[in-house]
A = this chain, B = another copy of it.
Amino acid sequence: MRKTVKGNAVIGQSGGPTAVINQSLVGAIEALKRHKPIGRILGARHGVRGIIEEKFIDLKGLPAGLLERVAQTPAAALGSSRDRPDEAYCEKIFKVFEKNNVRYFFYIGGNDSAGSAHTVNEMAAAADYELRVFHIPKTIDNDLLVTDHCPGYGSAARFVASAFIGDDRDSASLPGIKVNVVMGRDAGWLTAASTLGRADATDGPHLVYVPEVPFRVNQFVEDVRRIYGRLGRCQIAVSEGVADETGTPVAVALAEKLGHRVERDSHGNVQLSGTGVLGDFLADYVKSELKEKYRTLRVRADTFGYLQRSFPGFASAADQVEARRCGEKAVALAMAGDLDGSVAIRRVKGPTYKVEYFRAELKDVAGGTKDLPRKFINRSGNGITKAFREYAAPLVGDLPVSAKLA
The yes or no answer to A208 lying at the interface (CB within 8 A) is no
Determine, out of A114-122, A128-136, A272-280, the stretch whose residues face the partner at the interface: A272-280
**A280 to B79 alpha-carbon distance, docked (Å):** 25
B312/A401 in contact, CB under 8 A? yes
The yes or no answer to A57 lying at the interface (CB within 8 A) is yes
| Of the residues B76, B175, B405, contact of A173 by C-beta under 8 Å | B76
The yes or no answer to A350 lying at the interface (CB within 8 A) is no
- Chain B residues with Cβ below 8 Å from A267 are none
| Of the residues B78, B82, B401, contact of A73 by C-beta under 8 Å | B401
A312/B165 in contact, CB under 8 A? yes
| Of the residues B80, B300, B310, contact of A274 by C-beta under 8 Å | B300
Over the window 377-406 of chain A, the binary record of Cβ atoms lying under 8 Å from chain B Cβ atoms (1 yes, 0 no) is: 000000000000000000000011111111
| Of the residues B43, B167, B283, B305, contact of A310 by C-beta under 8 Å | B167
The yes or no answer to A358 lying at the interface (CB within 8 A) is no
The yes or no answer to A174 lying at the interface (CB within 8 A) is yes
Over the window 282-306 of chain A, the binary record of Cβ atoms lying under 8 Å from chain B Cβ atoms (1 yes, 0 no) is: 0110010000000000011111111
A405 and B276 contact, Cβ closer than 8 Å, known pairs A174-B17, A305-B303: no
| Of the residues B72, B301, B405, contact of A401 by C-beta under 8 Å | B72
The yes or no answer to A31 lying at the interface (CB within 8 A) is no
Among residues of B, the one whose C-beta sits closest to the C-beta of A311 is: B166
- Chain B residues with Cβ below 8 Å from A306 are 167, 170-171, 178, 300, 302
Q: How large is the interface on A (under 10, 10 to 19, 20 to 34, 35 or more residues)?
A: 35 or more
Among residues of B, the one whose C-beta sits closest to the C-beta of A58 is: B405
A307/B312 in contact, CB under 8 A? no
Chain B nearest Cβ from A275, distance in angstroms: 5
Among residues of B, the one whose C-beta sits closest to the C-beta of A19 is: B166
**A173 to B302 alpha-carbon distance, docked (Å):** 24
A312/B402 in contact, CB under 8 A? yes
A313 and B75 contact, Cβ closer than 8 Å, known pairs A276-B303, A280-B276: no
A276 and B273 contact, Cβ closer than 8 Å, known pairs A306-B302, A311-B163: no
A307/B310 in contact, CB under 8 A? no
- Chain B residues with Cβ below 8 Å from A166 are 19, 74-75, 307, 310-312
Determine, out of A62-70, A214-222, A326-334, the stretch whose residues face the partner at the interface: A62-70
The yes or no answer to A270 lying at the interface (CB within 8 A) is no
**A258 to B399 alpha-carbon distance, docked (Å):** 40
B73/A310 in contact, CB under 8 A? no
B43/A313 in contact, CB under 8 A? no
| Residue positions of A touching B, CB distance < 8 A | 13, 16-17, 19, 43, 57, 59, 62, 66, 69-70, 72-82, 162-163, 165-167, 169-175, 178, 258, 260-261, 273-277, 279-280, 283-284, 287, 299-307, 309-314, 399-406
Inter-chain pairs besides A74-B166, A166-B307, A169-B312, 19 sampled, C-beta below 8 Å: A17-B174, A57-B405, A69-B401, A74-B169, A75-B169, A75-B172, A77-B403, A78-B405, A79-B172, A80-B173, A81-B174, A162-B313, A166-B310, A169-B310, A170-B309, A171-B306, A260-B284, A274-B300, A276-B279
What would 15 A/B residue contacts be, using CB atoms closer than 8 Å?
A: A57-B406, A69-B402, A69-B403, A73-B169, A73-B404, A74-B170, A80-B174, A82-B174, A163-B311, A274-B302, A275-B280, A275-B301, A302-B303, A303-B303, A313-B400
